[in-house]
Amino acid sequence: MKSSHTAYSILDLALVSEGHSLKQTFNNSLALAQNAEQFGYTRFWLAEHHNAVNIGSSATSVLIGYVAEGTKTLRIGSGGIMLPNHSPLIVAEQFGTLGALYPNRIDLGLGRAPGTDRETAQAIRSDFMQAAHKFPEDLEAIQQYFSLDNAESKIRATVAEGVEVPIYILGSSTDSAHLAARKGLPYAFASHFATRHLEEALEIYRKEFQPSAVLSQPYVMAGVNIIIGETDNEAESFATSLIRMFLGIFTGKRDYMQPPTAMTQEYREIMEHPQVHQMLKYSFIGSKATVKSQIKSFLETNPVEELIAVTNIYDIQDRIRSYELFAEVMEELKKEI
The predicted-structure confidence for 133-184, as pLDDT tens digits, reads as follows: 999 999 999 999 999 999 999 999 999 999 999 999 999 999 999 999 999 9
How many structural domains does the chain have?
A: 1
Report which secondary-structure segment, H or E, holds 321: helix 316-336
pLDDT band of residue 3 (cuts 50, 70, 90) is: very low
Task: Tell me the CATH number at 27.
Answer: 3.20.20.30
Q: Are 26 and 32 in contact (CB under 8 A)?
A: no
Q: Which parts of 73-210 fold into alpha helices (H)? A: 88-101, 118-124, 128-133, 135-146, 175-183, 198-208
The closest alpha carbon to 249, from 223, 275, 210, belongs to 275
Residue 191 is assigned to a structural domain of this protein: yes
The predicted-structure confidence for 22-56, as pLDDT tens digits, reads as follows: 999 999 999 999 999 999 999 999 999 999 999 99
The predicted-structure confidence for 77-90, as pLDDT tens digits, reads as follows: 999 999 999 999 99
57: Cα separation from own chain's centroid? 12
Residue 239 is assigned to a structural domain of this protein: no
Mean pLDDT along residues 106-111: 98
Strands (E), 198-299: 220-228, 283-286
Coil, strand or helix at 227: strand
Residue 67 is assigned to a structural domain of this protein: yes
Q: Are 187 and 181 in contact (CB under 8 A)?
A: yes
The closest alpha carbon to 75, from 106, 98, 101, belongs to 106
Report which secondary-structure segment, H or E, holds 108: strand 106-111
Contacts of residue 49, Cβ cutoff 8 Å, sequence gap at least 6? 13, 55, 57, 58, 115, 116
Per-residue pLDDT for 222 more than 70? yes
- Domain extent at residue 304: 3-225+300-313
Q: Are 310 and 190 in contact (CB under 8 A)?
A: no
Cis previous bond, 162, omega within 30: no
- What gap in Å lies between CA 67 and CA 77, rounded to an integer? 10
Distance (Å) of CA 299 to CA 184, 198, 279, 287: 23, 13, 18, 18
Distance (Å) of CA 178 to CA 112, 184, 196: 13, 10, 17
Residue 238 is assigned to a structural domain of this protein: no
Region of poorest pLDDT, from 16-25, 119-128, 150-159? 119-128
Residue 165 is assigned to a structural domain of this protein: yes
Total Cβ atoms within 10 A of residue 252: 7
The closest alpha carbon to 179, from 132, 233, 120, 243, belongs to 132
Residue 333 is assigned to a structural domain of this protein: no
Residue 129's identity, in one-letter code, is: M
Residue 30 is assigned to a structural domain of this protein: yes
Residue 212 is assigned to a structural domain of this protein: yes
The closest alpha carbon to 38, from 7, 74, 76, belongs to 74
